[in-house]
A and B are shown apart, each in its own frame.
Chain A
Amino acid sequence: MKIKKFPYYPGCTLKQTAKNFEKSAMGTANYLGIELKELPRWNCCGAVFSLTSDDVMHQVAAIRNLIRVQEMNDSGMLDNEYHLVVLCSMCFNVLKRANIFVTKDAETLFKINEFMDEEPDYEGTVEITHFLEILRDFMGFEKIKEKVVQSLYGLKVSAYYGCTLLRPREIGIDDPEAPTIMEELIASLGATPIDNHYKSLCCGSYHTVGKDKDIVARRTYKIIEGARENGADIIITSCPLCAFNLDNRQKLSKKIYPDFQYMPVLYFTQLMALAFGKEEEAGFEGNYIDPYPVLEKRDLIHNLKVR
């Protein structure tokens, strides 16, 4: 299998509470012949794109990472590859919007390069690419289907996109009103994609910090009930914050809505790992709501040792 090397930006959370996201992604990527080469000296992207018109300073954190990609190519670590692969939806959103912002005209690019005087100049060549786009555009879901070892037939999976993968339109990896990319992935793995009216309803995001966390719990309830109504077994997502809000906050949802039933929340890469027979790399131990009961019910768990 030809190994294709891409620069890879992990972001803070994938090294922290979302280790299973990265683990399952690495396992999956390797299996598909993709090497995700972590950026050397990467820094926190800033988590949110700065929305005021006068803010150049906050773009710096994001752009620094793009300069690292240039360096990787210049030093021979990469062979003319400027598609920076990202897993965390929020990091994807920030990096891509920052990239568009600084390259929209020559003046802005000049200004930010001047601001970052201790860094080499950013030339505007990097393209921020989400891992799902790699799967859809570089590999194609037909190829993914061929690589499935254990079809997830019978498993009803609801895709949860969240906000930052699809909005605003200029950075979205799919149509924000009617996205299909995750459903196509689910179908290629043999599982049944389940629609959810709330598939891109905001989970509440950073309100999970502080006194307002029940705002999140109320959204969690809505999103999961939306999936359950249509018969979903599990929900998949691509964002460590959405995963935390949908997964960990279910306990709080149950406090507010006593009849609420738990539903497991997985990263899409964990689902892929399962379908590729790489259960040990799926990292299910990291998920808050235990996914094993549902997966076992669908006869998808075989490696009891990992359990």
Chain B
Amino acid sequence: MTESQNKHKKTITRLLIAVVGMFGFGFALVPLYDVFCDLAGINGKTNGRYEASTEMQEVDESREVRIQFITHNNESMPWEFKPTVTEIKVNPGQMTQVDFYARNPTSSRMVAQAVPSLSPSEGVNYFHKTECFCFNQQALEAKEEILMPLIFVVDQALPKHIKVLTLSYTLFDQGQFDQDGFDKKVFIQQKEDQIQVLGSL
């Protein structure tokens, strides 16, 4: 191979590695984006299940935070879906439960996924959900209705200038079949167990 061909080979190899690397980087942006959203609490994507420590936070009675609940059905999702209360005042550190009503008015089984979004997004890291119907898909038979619990606590470290948090759920139709073989009976029993545990604290 001539000297110039060698030089080309080196250049081309490096550039091809760069191309493949940047293609991978494009895909890496997906989890990177999630990491940033988590770190900075941006985009309103709430965090996953919050493990309540046995040492519960002190309730800060001097401060009140308004929590608003709004719901939305995406596209043609025909379920009735609404919070039992649209607004509630809580103290930081106080564990609270709010139920959401859902009903499937159609004549066939349907599976839904609720996706939460919190505003202002700065509040995301201070709003902890220990139990949320949004953690799993929800299946409802034809005409079935259900009350789904949300159990949350607002962190004491919530910045002082945030006085209202708006939690929005969008309900999406996932088709007829659960994607992870979700067993509702077991889910309900687990919830009841957890509520019992929390109640005893």
A and B: interacting chains: no
Q: Interface of A with B (CB < 8 Å)?
A: none
Q: Interface of B with A (CB < 8 Å)?
A: none
